[in-house]
Amino acid sequence: MKQSRQPGWNPTRRNRNIGTAKQGHGQDNRLTIPDDWHNYRMFWERLTRFKAIFREIGRHKVTFLVERTRANSYHACTVDDVFHVLDHMPFADARNIDLVILRQPKRKEEILNRAWGRLAFYAEVGDYSGTAIILEAMEPSGSILWRRSVDPEDVKELERIRADGDQISVTKRGYEITTSLESIRARQLYRTVPHEIGHYVDSRRMTHSEWESKPSIEKEAFAHRYADTMRDQLINAGVIPFARKLIPDNLINEGLNLSDFCPA
């Protein structure tokens, strides 16, 4: 799971390496995620065709930004799927989430920076900003290749992926993960969403400098523990699992497209 900047980061202060080889200048033939030097926003903030949908948790407004998907790629979780989970999380934790972004990654991003989801401590998309959970659209009929050489943390993640319902086979090239819309939904909804909130909760237990210096493996361990605890509580309360909240008429009424969530 990915995390990005915390509040206090100044987007107008550009990287001193811009325009140098260290930044990538002069290496256009390499496979890199394109950078717009006139736009300080990160690639996950650069949505094109999207619709804003609003929900309230208590008196806290959460804005859902839903980007159009390309052919054969879908948002596994609906707006109401994610809202249902957030609405049953501890309010003290869920109220810190301002945005939920359902985005369509570019193909190059999928190769270089694939993620089920990520947390942005501060994101700006059009007129909307705040702490964001970002979930990425995927092609459910495809497969993901995981390198053959794995460490103990990789083994744990592969077991989590298997528990989400994916099929994993060992090939000469590595571990091949066969996904489905259902398994991607289960992973993003029941694991990724609470995992990213766990990162936010963890970051608020310490100062900014302490969080920045904390080893990634420790950050991930806390977020996994938090997600596991929340998952168990939600299961015991009968909140999850639940059927996909996909009502075509409701999507149309809110200006969304059914084809972004399932085959037409």
pLDDT band at 24 (very low <50, low <70, confident <90, very high): very low
Q: Does pLDDT of 14 surpass 70?
A: no
SS3 202: helix
Tokens for 196?
Answer: 């990213």
Q: Does pLDDT of 11 surpass 50?
A: no
The predicted model scores a pTM of 0.80
Q: Describe the chain by its helix, strand, coil percentages, rounded to 5.
A: 35, 20, 45
Distance CA 99, CA 133 (A): 6
Q: What is the mean pLDDT of residues 65-92?
A: 95
For residue 17, the model assigns a pLDDT of 42
User: Do 14 and 219 touch, CB atoms closer than 8 A?
Assistant: no
Dihedral of CA 234/91/202/43: which sign? Answer: positive
Edge-to-edge strand ranges of the sheet holding 174-178: 143-147, 174-178, 167-170
Q: Does pLDDT of 34 surpass 50?
A: no
Q: Does pLDDT of 31 surpass 50?
A: no
SS3 157: helix
Q: Between 1 and 56, where is the model more confident?
A: 56
Q: Does pLDDT of 208 surpass 50?
A: yes
Share of the chain above pLDDT 90, in %: 56
For residue 22, the model assigns a pLDDT of 43
Q: What is the mean pLDDT of residues 179-207?
A: 93
HSE, CB side, 13 Å, CA atoms: give it for residue 232: 5
